[in-house]
Amino acid sequence: MRIGLGSDHGGYNLKSEIIKYLTEKGIECVDFGTNNSTESVDYPMYGEKVASAVVSKDVDYGIICCGTGIGISLAANKVPGIRCAVVSDVFSAKMSKAHNDANMLSLGERVLGRGLALEIVEAWINTEFEGDRHSKRVDMIKQIEKRYSK
């Protein structure tokens, strides 16, 4: 599994922890920046970079972080084909994959402690999409995207 990661300054420390965690587990990580926590940068840029790598299949999944996880997820979700879930608990992490086939996960460094954030990541990477009745609903999401694309 190859995972793309990105953050703004507000999510930089959490992104670094996640990269360390995944790398130690032998999972390949591609870091799309930002490269430090002190210089203020704009989260949409990093959400888009990772989202673009996911839709082009350069990476299998994306994990992104900002202060809340919200802004960067909103940016990522503007890229057609992306289903990015902002998650703050383990149950929702599992469901976002099992039922919604989320291909990106977004976390808030200012919301979550390191321990919970890593548990969420662990749960998310180990959960598979269940398909079946959920496929129809994910297809409906894709149809909405199509209807509003020019």
Q: Binding-site residues for D-ribulose 5-phosphate, please?
A: 8-9, 67-71, 100, 110, 133, 137
**Alpha carbons within 13 A on the beta-carbon side of 121:** 30
Question: Is residue 3 within a helix (H) or strand (E), and if so which, with residue range?
Answer: strand 2-7
- In the complex with ligand RB5, the residue whose CB is nearer, 22 or 111, is 111
φ and ψ of 95, to 5 deg = -65, -35
Residue nearest to ligand RB5 (CB): 71
| Cα–Cα distance measured from residue 117 to residue 109, given in angstroms and rounded to the nearest whole number | 8
| Cα–Cα distance measured from residue 39 to residue 46, given in angstroms and rounded to the nearest whole number | 14
Min. distance of Cβ 78 from ligand RB5 in angstroms?
Answer: 14
- In the complex with ligand RB5, the residue whose CB is nearer, 10 or 62, is 10
The tokens of 37 are what? 């926590």
The residue ranges that bind ligand RB5 (CB under 6 A) are 8, 10, 43, 66-68, 70-71
Query: Residues 29, 65, 66, 84: which is the catalytic one?
Result: 66
66 is catalytic: yes
Min. distance of Cβ 2 from ligand RB5 in angstroms?
Answer: 25
Q: CB neighbours of 81 closer than 8 A, spacing ≥ 6?
A: 54, 55, 103, 145
99 is catalytic: yes
- In the complex with ligand RB5, the residue whose CB is nearer, 70 or 98, is 70
Min. distance of Cβ 8 from ligand RB5 in angstroms?
Answer: 5
Query: Residues with catalytic annotation?
Result: 66, 99
